Amino acid sequence: MYRITKQVKYGVLFLILFISCLSFPFNKSYACDCVVPLSVQEELERNTAVFSGKVVEIVDKNKNKIIKSTADPIAVVFEVKEWWKGGKQTQVLVNTVRHSSSCGYKFTVDDQYLVYAREIDGELNVSICSRTQSLSTAQTDIEALGKSHIPTEKVSKESLTNVEDEQGNSQNVVNYYLIGILFVSLEISTIMYIKQRNKKNANK
């Protein structure tokens, strides 16, 4: 058997690290710095949507990645109980990020919340800096918000999560493509090494 030289080992290691960086990009994340908490009325005016509801699904499209960021996007589907502002749908999707250090809010499936969400780039986003909280502790906010209305526009969970699934599938295709490049590159490196060794042996 041929012995693999240090140059080939280092080359293969560099190639693996390079492909890994392409497959699992680091997202920029910054420490969360919340301003002084706003009043209920200020939050109502500041946010695009205010509603209460139960979490029925959490979509983490980066859950299978080896390297994760505190700022990874997390999509959360709610079954809406009441609206105070911004909608009339029976279900709604909001976005947050993975960790509170990046201002993400930690939601749990089947738990109920009072949600304050702002529209950013056409999507509703929830931050830990808002007055979003468990519905069990939100009685003061609910009384201050005043009259609500129940949702009237029927929306399916599947229609909300379809875009997230398509994005996840696209990322999987990219990952498979990059893995394929890695294996082809390793095979080429091995062939080149064997040819080089054969050539040296023939000249002896």
Sign of CA dihedral 184, 186, 187, 188: positive
Helix (H) or strand (E) holding 96: strand 91-97
Among 66-70, 89-93, 193-197, the range of highest mean pLDDT: 89-93
The pLDDT score that the predictor gives to residue 175 is 55
Mean pLDDT confidence for 66-91: 94
Q: Which of 26-30, 44-48, 82-86, 185-189 has the lowest mean pLDDT?
A: 26-30
The pLDDT score that the predictor gives to residue 1 is 47
Regarding pTM above 0.75, the answer is no
Among 17-26, 125-134, 165-174, the range of highest mean pLDDT: 125-134
Q: What confidence tens digit (pLDDT) does each residue in 93-124 have?
A: 999 999 999 999 999 999 999 999 999 999 99
The pLDDT score that the predictor gives to residue 203 is 65
Residues whose CB is less than 8 angstroms from the CB of residue 6 and which lie 6 or more positions away in sequence, other chains included: none
Q: What confidence tens digit (pLDDT) does each residue in 32-73 have?
A: 889 888 999 999 999 999 999 999 999 998 888 888 889 999
Could you identify the residue written with the tokens 């699992």? 24
The pLDDT score that the predictor gives to residue 180 is 66
The pLDDT score that the predictor gives to residue 158 is 79
Q: Is the pLDDT of residue 30 over 90?
A: no
User: Are the CB atoms for 118 and 48 separated by under 8 Å?
Assistant: yes
Q: What confidence tens digit (pLDDT) does each residue in 134-191 have?
A: 999 999 999 999 999 999 999 887 777 764 554 455 555 555 556 667 666 677 777 7
User: Are the CB atoms for 131 and 41 separated by under 8 Å?
Assistant: no
The pLDDT score that the predictor gives to residue 72 is 94
Q: Is the pLDDT of residue 92 over 80?
A: yes
Burial label, 146 (beta-carbon count in 10 A; 0-12, 13-18, 19+): exposed
Strands 123-125 and 73-85: unpaired
